Amino acid sequence: MSEATPALQVRDLRKVYGEGPGAKAAVDGLNLIVPRGSFFGFLGPNGAGKTTTIKMLMGLAPPTAGTIELLGLPMPQRSLEIKQQIGLVPDDSLLFDHLTGGEFLEFTGRIYGLSRQVARERTKELLDLFELSAAPRKMIKEYSKGMRKRCAMAASLIHRPQLFLMDEPFEGVDAVGARMMKDLLTDQVRRGATIFLTSHVLEVVERLCDHIAIINAGKVVAEGSTEDLRGSGSLEDAFVRAVGVERQHEGLEWL
């Protein structure tokens, strides 16, 4: 596999729900190229198609049309090879509620082909790093949302993937945990990994990402380096312009 191939490339990607006149395109002709070693932000308002796109990239939702290549390999034709090299942090934290955090991490490591000893060693290190080792018998179903995100992030790291797909990875995480996670991800990019990230927190995206695509109504409406998109203003200003939402200057009279 050539290092010159993009980490992620989609062409004319579509996902349509329903049939006939009531059919709705959640993703409508999406084209993206994510270079290797980049920290790529994928932004959009609620309902724009971000999570649907992530699910198609993860292989959780089949596209209606279009092609997906991850690390130079076609999805879903070579999905097993692809999934061995990617780390996933889904929005809804698809974890096993009736396992402890340690059991889940060790299981994840074994699924990715780590030996039992290596999986156990990395599990202990990750539990300590993400501050999840204080209650070793606590089931994931008892975790807070922030703890679930920490556990999902830890699981995404255990096999040292080349590509991370992350849907709102900092949601519900406290400031200290979020800072640690951001530092970890930045280190992964420095060593050559690629991160594809969605987030509603534009300040986080602006600080972390070197390239950004903005999606609205299932289509990319703006794309470029963070610096170019921001221009002389803020990323928030660029986002508002791209999605065509005018600022509301008039408040409610009764407030």
Which whole number is the average pLDDT over 179-207? Answer: 93
Supply the pLDDT for residue 3: 61
Q: Does 142 map to a domain?
A: yes
Six token digits for residue 242: 């791209």
Q: Does 53 map to a domain?
A: no
What is the rounded distance in angstroms from the CA atom of residue 66 to the CA atom of residue 76? 12
Q: Does 33 map to a domain?
A: no
Supply the pLDDT for residue 199: 87
SS3 25: strand
SS3 225: strand
Supply the pLDDT for residue 233: 85
Residue with tokens 């340690």: 102
Six token digits for residue 239: 């986002």
Q: Does 147 map to a domain?
A: yes
Nearest to 90, CA basis, from 31, 140, 41, 153: 153
Q: Does 90 map to a domain?
A: no
The distance of Cα 209 from the centroid of its chain, to the nearest Å, equals 12
Nearest to 222, CA basis, from 247, 206, 195, 242: 242
What is the rounded distance in angstroms from the CA atom of residue 77 to the CA atom of residue 75? 5
For the cut 90, the answer to whether the pLDDT of residue 163 exceeds it is: yes
Q: Does 18 map to a domain?
A: no
- 211-226 pLDDT, tens digit per residue, is 999 999 999 999 999 9
- 9-35 pLDDT, tens digit per residue, is 999 999 999 887 878 999 999 999 999
Q: Does 125 map to a domain?
A: yes
Nearest to 35, CA basis, from 184, 210, 206: 210
Supply the pLDDT for residue 93: 62
Residue with tokens 């300590």: 128
Helix (H) or strand (E) holding 176: helix 175-190
Number of domains in the chain: 1
What is the rounded distance in angstroms from the CA atom of residue 51 to the CA atom of residue 198? 8
CB atoms within 10 A of CB 8: 25
For the chain, what percent of residues have pLDDT higher than 90?
A: 73
What is the rounded distance in angstroms from the CA atom of residue 171 to the CA atom of residue 198? 11
Beta bridge partners of 220: 215
Supply the pLDDT for residue 253: 78
Which whole number is the average pLDDT over 130-139? Answer: 91
Q: Does 12 map to a domain?
A: no
Look up residue 223 and give its amino acid.
E
For the cut 80, the answer to whether the pLDDT of residue 198 exceeds it is: yes
**Structural domain for 150, as ranges:** 95-160
Supply the pLDDT for residue 94: 75
Beta bridge partners of 73: 70
Which whole number is the average pLDDT over 58-78? Answer: 94
Mean of all residue pLDDT scores within the chain: 91
> What pLDDT band is residue 248 in, cutting at 50, 70 and 90?
low
Supply the pLDDT for residue 92: 65
